[in-house]
Structure formats: structure tokens, C-alpha cells
Amino acid sequence: MSQEVTILLIDPVVEDRAAILSILKDRATTVIEAASAPEAWDKAKDLRRLTMMIAGIDAATGEEILDLRDHLHTEIGLFPSMMCSREDMTAFYPRVMEVDRLFFKPVNRGVLLEWFESAIQPLRESSEAVPKSDTGPVSAPPPEIETAPAPEAAETTIQPHETAPVQLPEEALPVGTRLGDYKLLREIQQDANFALYEAEQTSIGRKVALKTLYRKHRKDIRWVQGFVNEASARASVNHPSISLVYECDQELGVNFYTLELVDAPSLSDLARRRSELDESVLWKILEACAGALIYLRDNGMSHRLISAQSILMLKGGQPRIANPVRGRGVSLTVEEERQQMELLADAIAPFLKSSGGDPQLHLLVERLGSDRIDAVNSMDGLSRVLAPSAPEDDLTGAEIAKLNEQKTDRTAILVGSGFGLLMLAGFAIAYFVLGGKPEVRDLSALSKIPAGMFPYQDGEEVETSEFWIGQHEVTIAEYAAFLADLSANPGKEKKLAHPDEPDSKVTYKPEKWDEIYEKAQKGGKFYGGKIDPNCPVIGVDWWDANAYAKWRGGRLPTEQEWEKAARGRSGNLFPWGNEIQPENFNSGLDHETTEVTREASVDGYRFWNPVDAIPADESRYGVIGLAGNVSEWTATRDIHPDSPDKQVPIKRGASFATKSGFELTARRAAESSDERNFWTGFRIAADLENPKIMASGAASAAEEEE
């Protein structure tokens, strides 16, 4: 069989033909271009073989193109055809054949190539099995004269594909409907003209979001073209903070396109749950929105305003904006920009600390979309505040003058105190040169928790067996030893994986580990908080904690074990009794400066503290830090209070960022096992008094042989 690929390409629009050629030019031996069916007949009537026909159709030319296809089938033999249009193609469904495919313009490159490769090979094989006569084709009149095959040829005509005309509702589609390669799994939202679904792309098992235009609009070119323009514009967006659009198509009279399915809660969801977000995350959200808005404006995109509902929060505190593009055009008017700033303020406000917090963040939120003299009412204004090119960018003339005066005063002060600063610098140099690194303490001891009953939660008597639990939370130094051992023994981490651990989990390094460890070794600051090797390891997810505990020869404590170690047989609400004593544990009551409290003025720490630094936070069993410092992962998984279909790990204990709910009975559901942040750590439990670290080197090799 000849390996030549001959394509007949018919379309009155030169640009549309060029788009197809750009995709298939390297796969075709010969491409015959034509603007109409008559022109295509003139160019193809003497062909001995045709591999494929690709044609643009509309209401005026569709029947003519299909007549040409039928006539070429009788003269040359069966070949696949692809018809594409910007209009509704329902009228042509009865003539769609098994080897044909309808595409919606603009044709998606990936979808076209996939169909091309899958359709062409079987047809080549079938043409090999039924060779054509060498006498050449029979001359016949053009299709506009003869519109039906001759009676004797009718028996060889391929029957229409049976999947065309089915009864579907004119508006929202029922779950379970199939649109080409997609199956609708659940409805996300709908309005009077559109619906959004979660769907599965069955050929590759990928979950997507799928937006449909209701069938009632399929014959209105204004609705259809507007929908296509929106999909095309959205698909052209390439910004790291904006979700993706995959492809646009039409099936069974339904125009639809597919988008990236971002499985994450929105800011409005988190606000409704009264979730907490670190201020560094709030700054990150504003930066992402400012960058996205400027990108859309600079690329001529008309778009919807970004609100709390369209800002999604991924794992690790990364924001993702649901694609807001409507089409090409002017981004936002001056008034719309002001409204946009107001919406951003509304999105951030629920997560601001009720007292204290970063004063710069509070001030910025107050300025967004306001009528203040220093209001931030434009995307450029927001960008300048977030990343000013000079300190004076957002100041008035009077403020700049005052700033210059302050600079002059500071210069005088600095000159007057220069000698003292030189002395301090000398002391600092001596400190670091002579060995000022923080001392690493052995904090690995375990406490025995005896078997017996204790009042769990609201008084239910629960019995636990004897176990041991870490007297302290696992430290940065201890976790560093764990990572060093894994690095020295490649493949060892495979033995540590939890049975449910996803394949995507490829490292047990905590978030920003390299920076944390470097700062801790020097006794420096991380995110504004002093940190050293004796502070709790942070940035760990549930998988990390499980892996370390197994490596250490233990496990994570269950919720009941954790609570018994904290409350004891007496069932106190705090390690020291039933009355809260804020100075006894590291909480968020002094995390930020407020009108009544200075940061670190209650318990002595704004962020995390060395795990042995507050001995008052000690239970009757000698376990320290259960009330505060960082929240702790447990082995227990339970139903998420806001998502009954989702099981998540449970954390126990308050942290330096917690403002309420300090009782030892408080349960804290994680968003997922992958959750990582800087206010969660863990401690280990064990069934033996002296658990052994997982053997390495020759010992582990011997174990494997056994």
C-alpha cells in the first residue's frame, strides 16, 4: 500500500485553511486546497486515491460539501472526513458517517492530531484489503448537478452513524450525559444560559471542568459565536495564577469547552468555614491578583471581576484564579477597577486578625476601593504598593518632605552613634567567629503513659493500652538527621511510605526546608521568627510525619493517646488544670501587637519556640508543649466537618497562631494529608520504651536478604 497521504482541504476562509495546514503539513504528502465544493471537484476528480477530506461547513454550504463527499466515496472509495464550523451542526447529523468527525472552530491542535492518527491507520488497512481498479475513475458531473449517488452505487454507500439526533433538554444537561470524549459527573453551577460540570475525559481518565451553552441557543449565531470567542480567548491565557482552558467542541447540538478542574476551596469557602490564613499567604493572594489583572489588561482581555469566589487556594497556600476572561477587548473601566479593588478588600478582610496583625496589610485593605485620600483604586496602584520602585512612590508632597526630614534626623543619630555601632559590630563578629551557633540539645526522650481509663472529650471513659510518647515535639535537628540518613541510603524512603501515600509524593523534605535549616543552624530568623535547631520541625505534611515516625521506630499517636498524654486521668482542660493561663503556653494571643498587647509579651514568643523552652506547658506525665507552640499531626483520620465525603487527618493542640479554642479537647481537621504550613509539627509515639531507628547500610541489606 502506498504510504502517501493526500488531503483534500476545503474552506472559503483562507485563515482557517492555513490553521489546518499549520497542524498537518508535516503529516501530509499532498494537500489539495479549494474554497468551495465545485472547485474541490475540479481538482480531485482525477485522483486515484484520497486519504482524507477536511472541510469547513455552514448552513449554506454544508449539504454541498456532504454531497461531494458521497460522490467521491463512490468514485474513489471510503475515506474519513472532518467537517468543522462555527455554527450549530445539528442539521447535518443524519449524514454523519462512522468514519467522520465534526469539530468546532477554531480546531484544537491536540484533538485534531489525535483524531488524525487514530482514523487514518484503520482506513489504510481497509483500502489495502480492497484494491482499486487500474482503469481509473469514471468521469462524473460536478456535485451541484448530480446530488445523489446512482442507484447501482447505493449499495456501497456507507450508512449514517447512529449516534446523531438524540433528545436532550434545551437547558442544563442531566448528569451522566456523554458529549464526545467527556462524561458529565456532577453539576457545579448553572444560570439561565450556561452550566458548569465536573466531567471525565474518558480516553485519558482526566477530570476537567466542562462549561456548556444551552441547546436553546444553538441556532443563534450571536450566542454561539460569543461562546466560541470566550473559549478561544480563555484558551490563549498563559499566566501562572490563572486556570487553564483545554479545548472547545460541539456535540449533539451542545456547544462546550473544557477547563482545568481546580480541586481547591475558594476564599469565600474558607471564610464560611472560619479558616485561618497566614498573613504571608494574604500578601501572596494580593500579589497574584495584581499580576493577573495587569497581564489581562496588557494582553487585551475583557474579563469578569475577580472575587473571593473565584480565588482558589491550592495546597501550600498558593492562590489560583478561576479563568475570568470573557473575550478580546478592553480590560476594565476606571470605575470597574475601583470595584475590583473593593472586591479584593472584601476577599481578604475575613482573614485579617481581629486584633493586631501586620499593620501594613490592615492599612492596605482599608485603602483598597475606598474614598480615602490615599485610596488604592487601580491595578497599577496596587502593584506599586506591593512592589514599589522607590519608597516615595505612594506619598504626597507633604509626606515626602516629612520623610526627608526624618532621614536627616536619622543621619544625625547614626553619625552620633557610629562609634557604638562599631563596637556592637565587633562583638557580633567575635560571637560568630568564636562559635556562636546554637547548641543542639538531645530532646528525644519518651514518657511512659500507663494503661487504663481516662475521660475522653466530653467525659466518655476510654481505655488505652500502655504506650510511650515523645516528651517534646520532633525538632529541626532530629528531622535533619532523618533526611541525612535517607540521602545516604537511596531507596530507603520506599520502606517508609504509608500504604495510602500517593505516587506523586516523591520527597519527605518539608516546605522551604533548605531555608529553614540554614536559618536554624545560624540561630537566625525565618519569616520574621527566630529559629534554631531545637525548634519544632515545620512545613511537614501528614506523609512526612508518618515516614519520620516509622524511621524513628515508632508511629504517630492516635487522637485518644494524644489526649490522654495531655489531660491525664483527671481529664483537665489544660496540662496544669482547668483554668487557662496564657503565660503557660505559646499561643496566638501575643502573635501580633494590638492596642492592648505587644507581640511576644504574654508567653515570650511571637512564632515557634524551642520545644523545651516553656516548662509550664507540661502534663502530669512529663510531656511538654501539648497546649501550644505548634499543632500536631495524629494518626487518626475522620470526616471533614465541611466535606462529609472526605476523610482527613486530625491535628491536636493549639499553635502560636491560634487565637481561640485552646482546650486540650479541641479537634482540628486538616484540609488534606498533603497540607503543609508553618504552624503544624508532630511528636512520635511507640509501643516500646526504646524504639530503634531503622537500620541502614549493611544491617538493612542483611534484613532484605532475610
* 77: nearest Cα among 118, 151, 130: 130
| φ/ψ bin of 103: left (φ > 0), alpha (ψ from -120 to 50), beta (otherwise) | beta
Residue tagged 506525665 (cell numbers): 621
User: pLDDT at position 210, please?
Assistant: 94
pLDDT band at 410; cut points 50, 70, 90: very low
User: Is the backbone of residue 667 left (phi > 0), alpha (psi -120 to 50) or beta?
Assistant: beta
- The rounded Cα 156 to chain-centroid distance in angstroms is 53
Q: Looking at 84-98, 289-303, 619-633, which range is the least confident one?
A: 84-98
- The pLDDT value recorded for residue 640 is 86
Say yes or no to pLDDT of 142 above 90: no
Contacts of 99 (CB under 8 A, 6+ apart): 78, 79, 80, 81, 119, 123, 158
d(CA 285, CA 307): 12
CA–CA distance, 578 with 580 (Å, rounded to integer) = 7
At residue 333, what is the residue type?
T
DSSP 353-377: -SS-S-HHHHHHHHHBT--STT-B-
Flag whether pLDDT at 702 surpasses 50: no
Residue 599 has pLDDT above 90, yes or no: no
Partner residues linked to 257 by β-bridges: 211, 248
- List Cβ neighbours of 686 (8 Å cut-off, separation of 6 or more): 446, 467, 468, 469, 553, 554, 555
Alpha helices (runs of H) in 368-512, residue ranges in sequence order: 379-386, 397-416, 418-433, 476-488
The amino acid that residue 165 corresponds to is P
Tell me what pLDDT residue 617 has: 94
Q: What is the mean pLDDT of residues 47-75?
A: 88
Question: What digits encode the pLDDT tens for the residues 373-400?
Answer: 678 888 888 988 887 544 344 444 444 4
Query: What is the pLDDT, as a whole number, of residue 593?
Result: 79
Question: DSSP letters along 500-533, please?
Answer: T--TT----PPTTHHHHHHHHHHT-EETTEE--T
| Confidence grade of residue 124 (pLDDT, cut at 50, 70, 90) | low
Tell me whether residue 407 is exposed, middle or buried, using C-beta atoms within 10 angstroms of its C-beta: 0 to 12, 13 to 18, 19 or more. Answer: exposed
Taking residue 61's Cβ as centre, other Cβ atoms within 10 Å add up to 18
Q: Length of the chain in residues, anyone?
A: 706
pLDDT at 527: 81
Confidence label for 522 from pLDDT (cuts 50, 70 and 90): very high
Pairing of strands 206-213, 254-260: antiparallel
**pLDDT at res. 72:** 87
Residue 419 has pLDDT above 60, yes or no: no
Q: Which is nearest to 516 in space by CA: 551, 543, 542, 483?
A: 483
Residue range 269-285: mean pLDDT, rounded = 90
Dist. CA 403–CA 395, nearest whole Å: 9
Asked if residue 131 has pLDDT above 60, the reply is no
Determine if the peptide bond prior to 106 is cis (ω within 30°): yes
Q: What's the CA gap between 557 and 562, in Å, rounded?
A: 6
**Other CB atoms closer than 10 Å to residue 170's CB: what's the count?**
10
Is residue 183 within 8 A of residue 258, CB to CB? The reply is no
Q: Cα(first)–Cα(last) distance of the chain, in Å? A: 59
Full-model pTM: 0.44
pLDDT band at residue 134 using 50, 70 and 90 as cut-offs: very low
H/E segment holding residue 645: strand 643-652
Residue 56's closest CA among 11, 22, 99, 86?
Answer: 11
pLDDT over threshold 70, residue 401? no
The Cα–Cα gap between 382 and 289 comes to 9
Q: Which three cell numbers stand for residue 273?
A: 468555614
Mean pLDDT of 51-71: 89
Please give the Cα distance from 96 to 252 (Å, whole number).
12
C-alpha radius of gyration, the chain, whole number: 34
Rounded to the nearest 10 degrees, what angle do helices 37-44 and 62-75 cross at? 20
CA 529, 531, 536, 541 dihedral sign is: positive
* SS3 assignment, position 644: strand
Percent of residues, the chain, with pLDDT higher than 90? 43
